[in-house]
Structure 1
């Protein structure tokens, strides 16, 4: 499920979203990973939260800037605060 009105506009917002996913703050169960993808129907980029069967649990649209510059954060995770 993707909410059209809830777009991640900055890398800071992406980091906050990823930390919520990592810490269980969104109440999602069976989370296995996250990925950047594009919507097949309109090409809009989004971050996808996937279960262990690669089924979409939650999606949030992202700006083009976040799509292009947030790839390493998706691959390697967020910076841990000390």
Structure 2
């Protein structure tokens, strides 16, 4: 999450990210879940991709608006296209 320009700032980009995870497009292994969370240090929101041991595989910063409005999208998954 060190790349400050890689922030998800709208629900369409969040959905695209979730679809890429579901389709294996990012090459991640053993993905077990996706969650919205906040950084313990500074409270910044992010979307986290977790393995079956709840270890972080990948994360992307999200804006506060996406954090608040994207909860159902993360919880229920993206619409299938």
Contact 1:36 1:71 survives alignment (8 Å): yes
Which residue does the alignment assign to 2:67? Answer: 67
Q: Look up the SS of the partner of 1:27 in the other structure.
A: coil
Give the unaligned 5+ runs of structure 1. Answer: none
Are 1:17 and 2:17 an aligned pair? yes
Between the two proteins, the alignment pairs up a number of residues equal to 80
Where do 5+ consecutive residues of structure 2 fail to align? Answer: none
Which structure carries more strand by proportion?
A: 1
Superposition pairs for residues 35-74 of structure 1, below 5 Å?
35-74=35-74
Give the secondary structure class of the aligned counterpart of 1:25: coil
Structure 1 residue 4: deviation in Å?
A: 3.3
Could you list the structure 1 runs, at least 4 aligned residues long, displaced by more than 3 angstroms after superposition.
Answer: none
